[in-house]
Amino acid sequence: MRATGVPLYVKVLIGVALGALVGVIFGAGEIVLGVTTADIGTVGLLVVRVLKMLAVPLVAFAILDAIVRTNVSARMGGRLLVICLVNVSVAFTIGLFLMNTLEPGTAWEGHLEELAGLSKDQPRKVPDGVTLSPLDNITRWIPESAALPFVENNVISVVLLSILAGAAVRRVRNRHEAPEAMTTVVQFIEGGYRVLMQMLAWIIETVPYAVFGVVAHVVGKSGLETFTALWSFLLIIVLGFVIHALGYYPLMAWLVGRKSPRVYLGRGANAIITGMSTNSSLATVPVTLRSLEEMGVSPESARLSACVGTNFNNDGITLYEAMAALFLAQALGYDLTFSAQLTIVVASLMAGVGIAGIPEAGLIVLPLVLGAAGLPEPVVAALLPIVFTVDWILARLRSAVNVMADMLVAILLDRWMELRGESHDRSPP
């Protein structure tokens, strides 16, 4: 697993295979020198704790970095935001419908308690503080201390604080107040973001070892049967992706954006495949811009959507986060009310803001969303390495969905500008 140039998903698969082998051979007994599969499983869970520790500051710096580097008029930014909100609302509607209709998480009932060491008789309740009252939610999301959201890993509060700080930095910089000081602030934000990305890159490389340890523990304790339920987890989320990306996107591009499915999917295929291959919508931006040009989308709309919108238009990540959290909550037997599910939706949306282009972004912020769903800390720690075993598949699909979302936003934004007579330099598809 140390071989250079080996993709992360290959290392994860190797970790799964070796962990399962160790679990089958040694079971729950001693491996060597008193070390058991439970011991290496505990060590593997430490990676999850580090991911959760770094995820919140990453979200904060990613949002700040995106805001201070973006130069968009209020009118264009408002249009971009409206389109993105419509798209992500449809994504959540699809996800909630599938999860509440099919209830696929029930296939895991009984497995999670065993993995996390919880009592099956432990009462399940809706997370404390869940409410549909806007005033109550705002009160809960605005902390008494600026440091409190980072201490409690409250992603919604961190996002709101970061947006406020980023807007303030832009305003002060645009007024040319204390230019030297503002240059230092911007450099600090950019540098902090890059440092956190490097730290996370190192931690991500240890994920295969965490998977090895946890899989060895799980298989040693419960046998290989535990992983049969992973198929239901994988398939339900893939179904959500397919309905949203291959149903809603082409339909909207055709009916509203006046681009037929042949144009949207055919001329966007290079960008979609590149996003799936690189596992990053940000790395795909040059290909996305070229595909949009071939579709006849104006450069203004293409650049705004692919270069700016890719930081906020996170349908793939947010749909995955919400569906995964609901799946695991169902598996634990939580009776989540509609208001509790909306809390998960908001947390998923907030967690994905600003980091859509980062490889493994869904993996990084998933612990935060699971926490917002009310899942106990031991369950979150025990589940994530198991979910990682199939995340390499879902990660590539998430990136492809995000790229498709960027293209749709550009098409709809261009159509909006065209109807108002504001778009120019457009060639027919």
Q: What are the pLDDT digits (tens) for 89-112?
A: 899 899 989 998 988 888 777 666
Between CA 394 and CA 399 the distance in angstroms is 9
Q: Of the ranges 36-50, 169-183, 402-416, which is most confident?
A: 402-416
Tell whether the model's pLDDT for residue 223 goes beyond 90.
Answer: no
Sign of CA dihedral 118, 123, 124, 127: negative
Average pLDDT over residues 192-209: 81
Sole residue written with tokens 């973006």: 70
Query: Quick one: pLDDT at residue 97?
Result: 92
The predicted pLDDT at position 1 comes to 42
Residue 303 has pLDDT above 60, yes or no: yes
How confident is the model over 193-218, as a mean pLDDT? 80
- The residues pairing with 401 across neighbouring beta strands, listed in sequence order, are none
Token pair of 154 as six digits: 């409250």
Question: Which of 94-108, 111-125, 210-224, 362-376 is most confident?
Answer: 94-108
pLDDT class of 127 with cuts at 50, 70, 90: very low
Per-residue pLDDT at 242 = 94
| Structure tokens belonging to residue 49 | 């704790």
Residues 159/63, Cβ–Cβ less than 8 Å: yes
Compute the average pLDDT of residues 84-92: 88
On the question of pLDDT at 146 being above 90, the answer is no
Q: List the domain boundaries for the chain.
A: 8-419
- Residues 112-123 pLDDT 10s: 665 555 555 554
What per-residue confidence (pLDDT) applies to 274? 80
In the predicted model, what is the mean pLDDT of residues 205-215?
79
- The pLDDT value recorded for residue 279 is 67
pLDDT: which is higher, 390 or 356: 390
Q: Tell me the pLDDT tens digit for each residue of 400-414.
A: 898 899 899 999 988
Q: What value does the mean pLDDT of the chain take?
A: 76
3 state SS for the chain: CCCCCCCHHHHHHHHHHHHHHHHHHHCCCEEECCEEHHHHHHHHHHHHHHHHHHHHHHHHHHHHHHHHHCCCCHHHHHHHHHHHHHHHHHHHHHHHHHHHHHCHHHHHCCHHHHHHCCCCCCCCCCCCCCCCCHHHHHHHHCCCCCCHHHHHCCHHHHHHHHHHHHHHHHHHHHCCCCHHHHHHHHHHHHHHHHHHHHHHHHHHHCHHHHHHHHHHHHHHHHCHHHHHHHHHHHHHHHHHHHHHHHHHHHHHHHHCCCCCHHHHHHCCHHHHHHHHHHCCCCCCHHHHHHHHHHHCCCHHHHHHHHHHHHHCCCHHHHHHHHHHHHHHHHHCCCCCCHHHHHHHHHHHHHHHCCCCCCCCHHHHHHHHHHHHCCCCHHHHHHHHHHHHHHHHHHHHHHHHHHHHHHHHHHHHHHHHHHHCCCCCCCCCC
Task: Quick: pLDDT tens for 329-343.
Answer: 888 777 777 777 887
Q: Is the pLDDT of residue 129 over 80?
A: no
Cβ–Cβ under 8 Å, residues 156 and 59? no
State the average pLDDT over residues 50-75.
Answer: 73
Asked if residue 253 has pLDDT above 90, the reply is: yes
pLDDT band for 136, please (50, 70, 90 cuts).
Answer: low
Question: Is residue 429 pLDDT above 60, yes or no?
Answer: no
pLDDT at 2 over 50: no
Q: What percent of the chain shows pLDDT beyond 90?
A: 10
What is the average per-residue pLDDT within 248-268? Answer: 93
Give the CATH architecture of domain 8-419. Orthogonal Bundle (1.10)
Q: Give the pLDDT score at 339.
A: 76
Looking at residue 29, what is its pLDDT? 79
Region class of 318: left (phi > 0), else alpha (psi between -120 and 50), else beta: alpha
Which of 123-137, 278-292, 390-404 tops mean pLDDT? 390-404
pLDDT (0 to 100) of residue 3 = 43
pLDDT of residue 132: 42
Q: Over 90: is that where the pLDDT of 288 sits?
A: no
- pLDDT value of position 5: 66
